Amino acid sequence: MSFKQQYQIVVGEFKKSVKIWLAYPILLVFWVIAPLMWLLPFIFQGKALVGGMQSEAFRNLTGSPNYLPFVLIGAMVSTYIFSGLWGVGNALREETYWGTLEYIIASPSSPILVLLGKTLAEFLYASVNVGLQALLATLFLGLNLTVTKILPVLIIVLLLVIGFYGFAIAFAGLTLLIKEAHGWVHTIEWIFYLFSPIRYPVEVSPITKTLSALIPLTYALVAIRTIILLNKSLVDLQKIILVLLIMDVILIVSGYLIFRASERRTKIAGTLSQY
C-alpha cells in the first residue's frame, strides 16, 4: 500500500469521526460544561472545610494556596485523557457495534491507520472542549491563563497526549480480546482519579505519591500548574520534560507491540466476530 493510500485512510477516518460528532452537537456542549459542573461540589466542600478557597496546608503541598485553579487545571487536562481513553481505546469495540470491524481487519489496510485517524480526531475534539473550558474558567472562575503561558502549556499537553494515545492504542487492541470495554475504561478512570493529581495533590499520602510517579498525567499536571500558578518557564521544567519524552517512547512502542500481539491472537483464536 502506497503512502498516499495510507494517508487517505487516516484522513478518511478523521473525517468520519468529525461527521459523527457534528451529527450530535449536544455532546460537545455536555463535555464542555460537565467538567466545570463537576467542580461545584469541591468548591462547596472547600468552603465548608477550610472556610474559603485558600489554605496554608494546601500551599505547603502545592506552592499555591488557591484550590480552585488547581482543580480547574486538573479538570481541563484530564479531558484529553478521558477523551482519548473512550474515543481511541474504545474505537474498535465501537466498530463491532456498527458491524464494520471485520471489514477493517480483512482489508489490505492496517487497523493502526484507522486508529491514527481516530487519534487525530480525538485530539481535535478534546482541544475544542478544553479551549472552551479554559475560556469559561478565565472569564468567570478567575483562572489566570495569559497568552504567554499558552505555548508552554500546549507543549506539555502534546508531550502528554503523544504517550497516552500510545496507551490508548494498546487498549484498543486489548478490546479485541476481552470483548468488553466500558468496565475497564471506568476502572482506568478511577485509577487516574485516585493516583494522579487531578482532584487533589498526591503528596497528601505516601501511597498515592509513590504510585503517581508511574503515570504521565502526574508529570503533565505538575508542569502545567507550575507554569500557570507559579509563573515558571519550560527551562525550569527540564527534568519533567525529559521524563515525559522517555514515557512517550515507551508507551508508543509498547502500545504498538501490544496492539499487534492482541490482533494476532484474536485472529488465531477466531474470535474476531464474537460480541
Q: How many angstroms separate the CA atoms of 90 and 180, rounded?
A: 9
Instruction: Give this prediction's pTM.
Output: 0.85
With a pLDDT cut of 70, the percent of the chain lying above it is 97
Is residue 193 scored above 70 in pLDDT?
yes
Q: How many angstroms separate the CA atoms of 245 and 143, rounded?
A: 28
The more confidently predicted of residues 16 and 178 is 16
Span 3-20, average pLDDT = 87
With a pLDDT cut of 90, the percent of the chain lying above it is 21
CB contact set of 52 (below 8 Å; sequence gap of 6+): 46
Q: How many angstroms separate the CA atoms of 40 and 55, rounded?
A: 18
Helices (H) and strands (E) in the chain, counts: 13, 0
Span 149-165, average pLDDT = 91
Is residue 275 scored above 70 in pLDDT?
no
Q: Can you spell out the DSSP letters for 231-248?
A: ---GGGGHHHHHHHHHHH
Residue 242 confidence (pLDDT): 96
Residues 15-41 have pLDDT tens digits of 988 888 888 878 777 777 776 677 777
Residues 68-88 have pLDDT tens digits of 888 889 988 888 888 877 777
Residue 26 confidence (pLDDT): 80
Residue 214 confidence (pLDDT): 93
Distance of CA 20 to the CA centre of its chain: 20
Residue 226 confidence (pLDDT): 92
CB contact set of 60 (below 8 Å; sequence gap of 6+): none
Residue 100, Cβ neighbours under 10 Å: how many? 13
Quote the cell numbers at residue 50: 477550610
